Amino acid sequence: MNAATTIQAFHVVPGAVVKTLLSGLRKEAITLVAQTYLTHERGETVNPDSYFLRFPSEPANRIIALPAAIVDANGGQSVSGIKWIASYPDNIKSGIPRASATLILNNPDTGYPYALLEGALISAVRTAASAVLGAWWLNNQQRSAPRLSIVGGGVISRNILETFREDDWSFGCVEVHDLNEASADALSAFGKHIGFPEVKTVSLDDALTADIVVFATSAGTPYVTERETFRAGQVVLNISLRDIGPDIIAQSYNYFDDVTHCLKANTSPHLAELKYGHREFVTGTVAALIRGDIHVVRDKPLIYSPFGMGILDLALGRMVHDLAVRDGSAIAIPSFFGEERRW
């Protein structure tokens, strides 16, 4: 710890600023996520379990705390903080997003918070960056495929589709499925708006046959359970974590951001572990792919299940904060702390 004599200035970064700054940084977000995964693999992070606030009378609703720290041994990159993200699925009935969040960044030397950021968009963009990063590594490190399908027509799906586009991917066809027809139509229209030439809504059965399948839903239990649903070499991005049955997991190659974190909370991989009593279906992490420790084999389906770690929010949030302070779009709160000296 450095000898700190002053408290870092406190800034608020509103959602409008976050949106503006991130709109042109999708590629950079993918690179940053990859770097953060490598930092985590080297043991230079602290990423404890998430903490869930649940409501007995409203079991679908929850608010989740994700504390984390990046303790890069090279110096100058350390940050700690916490994301507080609410998930209220019925929000969509009123036309507002399911998730809302705040992100607090803490100075590593004093512990004092120095930034409060709107966190839902940061969370969505880092999730999308992780998804597209995983897709590239499992798709022969190529940015094209005949068919991409997205199951779920919400904010995360929109950000994943936008990140594919900004990362220069091309698809013969983009297919969208959602139980809510209006959501499916909206995501389909968005795909056309950002430049994908062919986008259409399809049935779930059709969506499951695409070359790259993305799950981004609010499902709490598996509904895709037939063992032969996916074919060898097919890429499945299990972003929402609970759509796929344990039998499918057990007979596929499975990649993770962090194995220990993902095999809990009744995710599809966790259900596979509970059913079969082992973790032999675990193939490795995306960081291991990046480092060349493991290589993709294509004689079974390829499933990527990123649990979503708080360190990603910190890394992206720190980048947004620094840019916002530099260009003057962050809001300084000079009187935030009531006392800045002991005496």
What average pLDDT does this structure show over 233-246?
98
Res 342 pLDDT > 50: yes
Q: Domain 140-305's class?
A: alpha beta
pLDDT of residue 17: 98
Residue 305 pairs in a beta bridge with 256
CATH of 11-122+310-332, one of 3.40.50.2300, 3.30.1780.10, 3.40.50.300, 3.30.565.10: 3.30.1780.10
Q: What's the pLDDT tens digit per position in 10-64?
A: 999 999 999 999 998 999 999 999 999 999 999 999 999 999 999 999 998 999 9
- 8 A C-beta contact, residue 294 and residue 270: no
Q: What's the pLDDT tens digit per position in 184-208?
A: 999 999 999 999 999 999 999 999 9
Whole-number mean pLDDT of the chain?
A: 95
Give the domain ranges of the chain: 11-122+310-332, 140-305
pLDDT of residue 1: 45
- 8 A C-beta contact, residue 260 and residue 273: no
With cut-offs at 50, 70 and 90, classify the pLDDT of residue 339.
Answer: confident
Q: What's the pLDDT tens digit per position in 280-336?
A: 999 999 999 999 999 999 999 999 999 989 999 999 999 999 999 999 999 999 989
Identify the DSSP state of 292.
T
Res 4 pLDDT > 90: no
Q: What's the pLDDT tens digit per position in 114-170?
A: 999 999 999 999 999 999 999 999 999 999 999 999 999 999 999 999 999 999 999
Question: Tokens 């193939």 label which residue?
Answer: 283
Question: Tokens 């200035």 label which residue?
Answer: 9
* CA trace torsion 254, 131, 243, 90 (10° rounding): 160
Q: Alpha carbon of 74 to those of 48, 70, 164: distances in Å?
A: 22, 11, 32
Q: What's the pLDDT tens digit per position in 267-281?
A: 999 999 999 999 999
Cα–Cα distance for residue pair 117/255, rounded to 1 Å: 31
Identify the DSSP state of 186.
H
- 8 A C-beta contact, residue 161 and residue 194: yes
Phi-psi region of 241 (alpha: psi -120 to 50; beta: other; left: phi over 0): left
Per DSSP, the residues of 53-69 read EE-TT-TT-EEEEEEEE
- 8 A C-beta contact, residue 235 and residue 139: yes
Amino acid (one-letter) located at 324:
A
The answer for residues whose C-beta is within 8 angstroms of residue 11's C-beta and 6 or more apart is 114, 115, 116, 321, 324, 325, 330, 331, 332, 333
pLDDT of residue 75: 58
